[in-house]
Amino acid sequence: MLPTAPPTELLPSERAVVLLSCALSALGSGLLVATHALWPDLRSRARRLLLFLSLADLLSAASYFYGVLQDFSGSSWDCVLQGALSTFANTSSFFWTVAIALYLYLSIVRAIRGPFADRLLWAFHVVSWGVPLAITVAAVALKKIGYDASDVSVGWCWIDLEAEDHVLWMLLTGKLWEMLAYILLPLLYLLVRRHINRAHEALSEYRPICEDRQLPWRSSSSSVADKKLVLIPLIFICLRVWSTVRFALTLCGSPAVRAPVLVILHGIGNTFQGGANCIMFVLCTHAIRSRLLSLCCCRCCPQPSAQSPPGGTAPRKTGESQGPRHTSEEAHST
């Protein structure tokens, strides 16, 4: 067992920062769910996987928010309930994050299509919801979830540090899958990026000269995709690594686990995953960002109904004035 030590006390400023991070993450996850509900034409398989990841992040942010707000001092019933919910949601988030990377690899590099892709989505559901649920139910039944003195959390409950096999259950309820994601995410996205770069090089040998005017646009969109393929695993690691650092320090019995900077970084990293996904897949995605801006502009500044001038011809008779409008809207949405 770990040597007895005073619990990590959360300062009011630290608690406020983590609560704000939880709220922003919940808002970002909710925005991802809303975009999926608003625009059916954007419901690709990858976006559906992102929807389930957002639901897991939303539940995780809500449970963390309650835990930080309560600032538990013992293994009460609501501590166990909050710990179970956050354990299930957090572990499920790891699985869905890796599932998205694996699906992109299989669909882009291996070119899977049709019924096999549908069966793969069902397999993702079974693994990403079923495995975390089984682990959480076992942890609750064996009374492994409880008060952890905030040494491996930031105010919320997780694995009871007084349990004899607490290290094993910390690995099973999060840390093992977290460290596997550190390896799998960069590897899969690196393979996808290398495949895309090879495809671009192959196409460049056969690109006609008449398409030279489109090269700047293609190179800019390609560079944006390349940046995303680098940023997705990088952001995940930058957010999650602080909890791994505090986990290692707790196992070593180091007093550095209570350093305020580490506590804040751990709190933000564990709770802001939904906000980071919203930034990457909504605010930094042109097709969705432009639709959100158009929706906000239409809500805030409604245009008055146009009235035809006296003696003027109605545009509906010929339909000539509406053709360019539809064309521009379709190009804008694309």
Least confident among 59-63, 74-78, 210-214 = 210-214
Neighbours of 215 (CB within 10 A): 11
135 within some domain = yes
252 within some domain = yes
DSSP characters for 175-244?
IHHHHHHHHHHHHHHHHHHHHHHHHHHHHHTT--GGGGGGHHHHHHHHHHHHHHHHHHHHHHHHHHHHHH
Asked if the model's pLDDT at residue 265 lies above 60, the reply is yes
203 within some domain = no
Least confident among 21-30, 72-81, 318-327 = 318-327
Mean pLDDT of the chain: 80
**pLDDT at 227 (0 to 100):** 66
Domain that holds residue 48: 12-191+225-295
Between the alpha carbon of residue 10 and those of residues 63, 67, 82, 165, 258, the distances in Å are: 17, 12, 18, 26, 9
Q: Which residue has the higher pLDDT, 59 or 282?
A: 59
Cβ 230 vs Cβ 193: under 8 Å: yes
- Domain containing residue 289: CATH number: 1.20.1070.10
Asked if the model's pLDDT at residue 148 lies above 60, the reply is yes
* Vertex 131 angle, CA 127 and 137, to 5°: 155
What is the pLDDT averaged over residues 276-297? 84
Neighbours of 113 (CB within 10 A): 9
Tell me whether residue 151 is exposed, middle or buried, using C-beta atoms within 10 angstroms of its C-beta: 0 to 12, 13 to 18, 19 or more.
Answer: buried
321 within some domain = no
Supply the pTM of this predicted model: 0.80
Nearest-angstrom CA–CA distance, 257 and 245:
8
142 within some domain = yes
162 within some domain = yes
253 within some domain = yes
Number of structural domains in the chain:
1
37 within some domain = yes
